[in-house]
């Protein structure tokens, strides 16, 4: 069983270049931490129970319209305690990993899921492990904070579907998709895409066949594609994702073990806030949705935390 922590977009090595950071610091230096802590957070939750929903119905529910005044789902704890072990796949070094685990363990316990290590420390060692919970936590560029609707397995330890290229923009073109629209694109990728698309349309128009001037027949669709590309821009976002796998499935099926449920919580990044300020409200907002399936994004306003 391959367990590792990878250097991925959350890691410090992937921060913006120093010159850009200094420029941003000069522009936003007047932003007060106190003001940021007083402004409400827009926290969204997307969740899927893959063991209860599948296929077209799951896709419809996850991609349904946003719900800005959601009533939390009725939660029914498991008939018996469920014991789990955390595994961090991707996390930010802004806060200690133990802090991330602790903040998630409290709402999980309210749903009937108990951390094996904490139980051992409390003198109540369980006799078995029910779940492995994969954790992603940190800041990265993202567009649509929804969970995956495809078949998620233990071997797929990324937030996008297997085979998707992080910098590809092909998903805007059609069937040869190699990019996940949930992740979106950077401004540079959008510019490259628009330029490439215009070039391709020019080449097609120059073939003739009575279609008139090379770009004339394609000017309106090209404009439409540029608008679509603009809508696909990713934004700086804090993400917390929990994916649940049955321990026995991973032990016996290895990489083919299916994900049982997944919950993704997100809030837009803003100057003056750090992960330490958003982790607790994000974890608490997620509580009713562990093991559930949401109908569209569930959107709340939460107060940032001064300390976890």
Residue 73 has pLDDT above 80, yes or no: no
Residue 244 has pLDDT above 60, yes or no: yes
What local confidence, expressed as pLDDT, does residue 55 receive?
84
| Cβ–Cβ under 8 Å, residues 104 and 308 | no
Angle between helices 219-231 and 187-205 (to 10 degrees): 160
| Segment among 89-98, 216-225, 278-287, 295-304 with least mean pLDDT | 216-225
More confident residue, 259 or 79: 259
More confident residue, 12 or 22: 12
What local confidence, expressed as pLDDT, does residue 171 receive?
36
pLDDT tens per residue across span 28-60 = 444 455 666 778 889 999 999 999 987 899 999
Q: In what order do the strands lie in the sheet with 298-302?
A: 113-115, 82-91, 131-142, 235-246, 259-268, 41-49, 298-302
Could you tell me which CATH number the domain at 33-163+234-302 has?
3.30.160
**Global pTM?**
0.74
| Cβ–Cβ under 8 Å, residues 23 and 16 | no
Six token digits for residue 56: 């077209």
The domain spans of the chain are 33-163+234-302, 185-233
| Segment among 4-13, 14-23, 33-42, 59-68 with least mean pLDDT | 14-23
What is the arithmetic mean of pLDDT over 163-176?
Answer: 39
């Amino acid at each position: 069983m391959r367990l590792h922590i990878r250097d991925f977009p959350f890691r410090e090595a992937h921060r913006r270049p120093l010159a850009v950071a200094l420029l941003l610091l000069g522009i936003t230096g007047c932003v007060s931490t106190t003001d940021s802590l007083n402004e409400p957070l827009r926290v969204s939750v997307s969740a899927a129970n893959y063991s209860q929903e599948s296929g077209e119905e799951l896709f419809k529910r996850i991609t349904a319209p946003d719900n800005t005044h959601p009533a939390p789902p009725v939660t029914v704890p498991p008939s018996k305690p469920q014991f789990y072990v955390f595994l961090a796949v991707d996390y930010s070094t802004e806060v200690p990993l133990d802090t991330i685990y602790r903040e998630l363990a409290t709402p999980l316990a309210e749903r009937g899921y108990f951390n094996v290590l904490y139980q051992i420390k409390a003198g109540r060692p369980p006799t078995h492990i029910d779940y492995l919970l994969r954790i992603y936590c940190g800041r990265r560029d993202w567009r649509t904070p929804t969970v995956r609707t495809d078949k998620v397995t233990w071997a797929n330890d990324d937030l996008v579907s297997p085979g998707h290229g992080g910098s590809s923009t092909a998903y805007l073109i059609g069937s040869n998709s190699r990019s996940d629209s949930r992740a979106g694109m950077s401004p540079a990728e959008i510019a490259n895409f628009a330029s490439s698309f215009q070039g391709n349309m020019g080449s097609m128009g120059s073939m003739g066949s009575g279609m008139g001037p090379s770009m004339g027949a394609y000017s309106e669709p090209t404009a439409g594609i540029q608008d679509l590309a603009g809508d696909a821009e990713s934004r700086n976002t804090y993400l917390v994702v929990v994916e649940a796998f049955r321990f026995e499935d991973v032990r016996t099926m290895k990489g083919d073990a299916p994900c049982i449920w997944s919950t993704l919580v997100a809030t837009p990044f803003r100057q003056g806030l750090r992960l330490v300020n958003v982790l607790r409200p994000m974890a608490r907002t997620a509580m009713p949705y562990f093991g559930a399936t949401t109908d569209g994004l569930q959107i709340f306003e939460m107060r940032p935390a001064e300390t976890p």
